[in-house]
Structures are given as C-alpha cells and as structure tokens.
Amino acid sequence: MTAYSSTLLPTYAPYPFPIATGEREYVVDAAGNRWLDFYGGHCVASTGHCHPAVATAIAEQVHKLIFYSAAAQLPVRDAAAAALVEFAGNSMASVFFCNSGAEANENALKIAVKLTGRRKFAAFQGAFHGRTLLALSVTDAPKLRKDFDSLLAPVDFLPFGDATALAAADFSDRAAVIVEPIQSMAGVKTAGSAWFAALRDKCTQSGALLIFDEVQTGIGRLGAPFAANLYGVAPDIITCAKGMASGVPMGGVLMRTDIAAALKPGDLGSTFGGGPLACAALIATLKVINDENLMAHAHALAQHIRANMHGVVREVRGTGLLLGLEAGAQAKALKAHLFDRHILVGGSDDPAVLRLMPPLNVSTVAAELLLDGVGEFGAREAA
Ligand SMILES: Cc1ncc(COP(=O)(O)O)c(C=O)c1O
C-alpha cells in the first residue's frame, strides 16, 4: 500500500498502517493489530477514542439537528457555552466558538487589535500557534514562515521563561502577548508560575492583552481545567481546541466579561463554529472529564510515570498528561523501539524530546506497558 492515496495531498509522513477503529487508549489497524496511543491523535483524543458517552451524545444530536449556523439560537450551543465557561472558571465569562486552534488564535489576536488599536504583538521563541496568517505571525518556525514573510504581522519573540528578558521587555505598543503555558512542539518546555505572574503584571501595566494559547494544555490535560487555573494567573483570553470535543473539530476563544462587552454582533463569525455536533461532543467531553475524575487521574498517572521513568530518559518534562521524555541522541531509536512494541509516542522540534499526550483516561496498565518498553530499550542499550 502506498503511504498516501494519489488524490490526497501529502502533509505528514503517516504511520505505515491505516487505522481502522479506536477504543479508549488503543487504535486498531486494518489487520486487527492494537496500538497503544500515547500520541492521542495529536493531543486530541481527550476522553479516549470513541468514548461511549461522547459517541452516544453525537449520535443523538445527529438525529435531532446536524447543523444550523449562529443565525439561530440553539439550546445545545447555549448549553455548551455555559458548560465550558463553568469548567474554565478563572474569570472567563464568554466564549466564541470556531473550528480549530489556529482559528481560535487568529480571532483572539484580532480581538486584541480591535480593543487596543495597536498592530504589533509579542510572542516567545519556540512558539507554535498555528498556520493561518496572524497565528503564523506569532509562530517562531522559520521554515513555516519563510514564504510568507511580507504578509506577517510585526512580532517580537522573547526567550520563554526568562525573567530578565521579560523585565526588560516593553509591551506598550503591543496589542497582545500570546504564550503557550507549556511549549509543546518546542520540546515540552515549561516556565514557573512566578514568571507567568510577572508576565501578567507586565501586560496589565502596558495595556497589552495576555492570551494563553491552551490548545494543548487546556481541557483538563494538565490535571486542572486550564494551565491558567494551575498557575493561578488570569489571562485576558484563553484559546482552546484539540481535545475539547474529543475529536469533533472545534475551537474556542474564552474571554472576560469586559472583553465580550466591547465586541458587537458581526465582529466575529464562523459558519461552522459552534455547530450542534461539536457542541454535543463538548458537553459530553466535559461531563466525562468531571464524572470520571480524569483531571485527578491525569495528575496521578503523570506522577507515576515521572517516578518510574529511568534509564535512557534523563528528564521527564511537563505537567499532567503533556509530558516530554528527554532521551538525548537515543530519542529516535527509543521512539522506533516503542513503535516496534506497538506503542505510539510523538516527536517534537527538539530531536532529543519525545512527547506523551495520551487520552486523559489512559489506564495504569498502559502506563506500565510504556514504562516496560522504555526499560527494555535501556537494558538493551546498556548490554
Ligand atoms: C499550542 C497550539 N496552538 C495552536 C495550534 C493550531 O491548532 P490547529 O492545528 O487546530 O489549527 C496547535 C496545533 O498543534 C498547537 O499545538
């Protein structure tokens, strides 16, 4: 079988097997082999693959109403917004629904321009915020930016987590500062809550909006609803996507009351944003996370993985179930070894760091299989 059908534009180098079905933390290939999914379909399968409660909610909604745009009031959309705002806490009062992480960031940055009248942004070295033009403007990836330079908005990239650089920065002409609370693609890089508090202060003093891009860190992944809750920092805007509807495409821009009050109907829009299927899936996803105590589970399982990861993994980075395994020059071979054992993990822009972003309900048994796989590789390398 070819890697891609000739009609499908190649984007990623796909796994060398087609996935047929999924159940909880496993996907099953066309030959019936099970693969343990610590990659989570790129951090998306928050409640696992095909959680029965999410599947039922989507199926029931399909038979009621597949779609109507924001031109109509839909009870399921109102309920989804209320559920997400309640889940987020942290002074978030309204949400704009869209369809992806890039679209959420694009809209958050546009809101900042509209409210401040400023045209420049600040972001951080190593950041990934998406591929649409404003999201790409604040993304520090030269290979993605190079063909579009003249179309991108002015941005300064500061060192992430660097208190001295932050103290020296001037945001007085910046519409917004956008930050991933954990820089996932860059290699699961973290910064302390004191640094985020200083960033909050600096934005407040200079009148720049603080946007937390929680596309990966949000919706319970870190063992808290959002990183903002975990760090005790209140951003002006939080963006989310990926796991929020367990894999049904959805993005969200959460904002404070005063920001929502400054926007009027027509300022933001998206035909498919907040569609009934995504809203039903979001409500079910949040209910599963709460009912099954998945935030506490994510926290406990991460502690277990961290405590028992030895050998070639020199450092376990990250929080909750967004973890980076620093394995130096052996990272690539470790990934291949795990693959041979039917365990999928992610890579990152740092060739020494592998990423774990499994479903939040990944089992302890699965964690043991991962730990065994890493241990076996270490023993083989040491022999
Ligand atoms: C932190 C972060 N922000 C934004 C995006 C863009 O999301 P999407 O691919 O849904 O546009 C991603 C995607 O990986 C991401 O990791």
Cβ atoms 26, 36 nearer than 8 A:
yes
What CATH class is the domain 23-38+293-382? Answer: alpha beta
Nearest CA owner, ligand 1 atom 7: 101
* pLDDT in the model for residue 162: 98
Rounded Cα distance, 214 and 101, in Å: 9
Query: If you measure from the C-alpha of residue 141 to the centroid of ligand 1, how many angstroms do you get, rounded to a whole number?
Result: 13
Which one of 42, 106, 129, 184 would you pick to mutate in the ligand 1 pocket, going by the greatest count of ligand atoms within 8 A of its CB? 129
Which one of 131, 216, 272 would you pick to mutate in the ligand 1 pocket, going by the greatest count of ligand atoms within 8 A of its CB? 216
Which one of 160, 215, 239 would you pick to mutate in the ligand 1 pocket, going by the greatest count of ligand atoms within 8 A of its CB? 215
Query: If you measure from the C-alpha of residue 138 to the centroid of ligand 1, how many angstroms do you get, rounded to a whole number?
Result: 12
* pLDDT in the model for residue 1: 46
Among the atoms of ligand 1, which is closest to the Cα of residue 127?
A: 1
* pLDDT in the model for residue 331: 98
Kindly give, in sequence order, each residue whose CB lies less than 8 Å from that of residue 264, ignoring residues fewer than 6 positions away.
Answer: none
Nearest CA owner, ligand 1 atom 4: 129
Cβ atoms 170, 115 nearer than 8 A:
no
Among the atoms of ligand 1, which is closest to the Cα of residue 130?
A: 6
* pLDDT in the model for residue 326: 98
Which one of 128, 139, 183, 355 would you pick to mutate in the ligand 1 pocket, going by the greatest count of ligand atoms within 8 A of its CB? 128
Segments in the chain below pLDDT 70: 1-4
Cβ atoms 188, 322 nearer than 8 A:
yes
Could you tell me which of 222, 116, 91, 97 has the C-alpha nearest to residue 177? 116
For the stretch 136-145, pLDDT in tens is 999 999 999 9
Query: If you measure from the C-alpha of residue 101 to the centroid of ligand 1, how many angstroms do you get, rounded to a whole number?
Result: 5
Among the atoms of ligand 1, which is closest to the Cα of residue 180?
A: 1
Could you tell me which of 221, 171, 239 has the C-alpha nearest to residue 200? 171
* pLDDT in the model for residue 134: 98
Cβ atoms 120, 155 nearer than 8 A:
yes
- Ligand 1 contacts (CB < 6 A) are 100-102, 105, 128-130, 180, 184-185, 213, 215-216, 241
For 42, the 3-state DSSP assignment is helix
Rounded Cα distance, 197 and 174, in Å: 18
- Expressed in angstroms, the distance from the first to the final Cα of the chain is 37
Statement: 52-291 belongs to CATH 3.40.640.10: yes
Query: If you measure from the C-alpha of residue 378 to the centroid of ligand 1, how many angstroms do you get, rounded to a whole number?
Result: 33
Query: If you measure from the C-alpha of residue 213 to the centroid of ligand 1, how many angstroms do you get, rounded to a whole number?
Result: 9
Name the residues annotated as catalytic: 128, 213, 242
* pLDDT in the model for residue 148: 98
Which spans in the chain are helix H? Answer: 40-43, 52-64, 75-88, 101-116, 133-137, 142-145, 163-168, 193-206, 227-231, 257-261, 276-291, 294-308, 331-340, 364-382
Query: If you measure from the C-alpha of residue 107 to the centroid of ligand 1, how many angstroms do you get, rounded to a whole number?
Result: 13
Kindly give, in sequence order, each residue whose CB lies less than 8 Å from that of residue 81, ignoring residues fewer than 6 positions away.
Answer: 94, 95, 97, 274
Query: Which letter does DSSP use for residue 219 in this model?
Result: T
Among the atoms of ligand 1, which is closest to the Cα of residue 249?
A: 10
Topology alike, domains 23-38+293-382 and 52-291: no
Q: Please, is 107 exposed, middle or buried when counting C-beta atoms within 10 Å of its C-beta (0-12, 13-18, 19+)?
A: buried
- Ordered by start, the domain boundaries in the chain are 23-38+293-382, 52-291
Among the atoms of ligand 1, which is closest to the Cα of residue 135?
A: 4
Among the atoms of ligand 1, which is closest to the Cα of residue 102?
A: 11
For the stretch 164-214, pLDDT in tens is 999 999 999 999 999 999 999 999 999 999 999 999 999 999 999 999 999
**Measured between alpha carbons, how far is residue 54 from residues 68, 295, 321 in Å?**
20, 17, 20
Rounded Cα distance, 199 and 370, in Å: 36
Query: If you measure from the C-alpha of residue 43 to the centroid of ligand 1, how many angstroms do you get, rounded to a whole number?
Result: 10
Q: Please, is 106 exposed, middle or buried when counting C-beta atoms within 10 Å of its C-beta (0-12, 13-18, 19+)?
A: buried
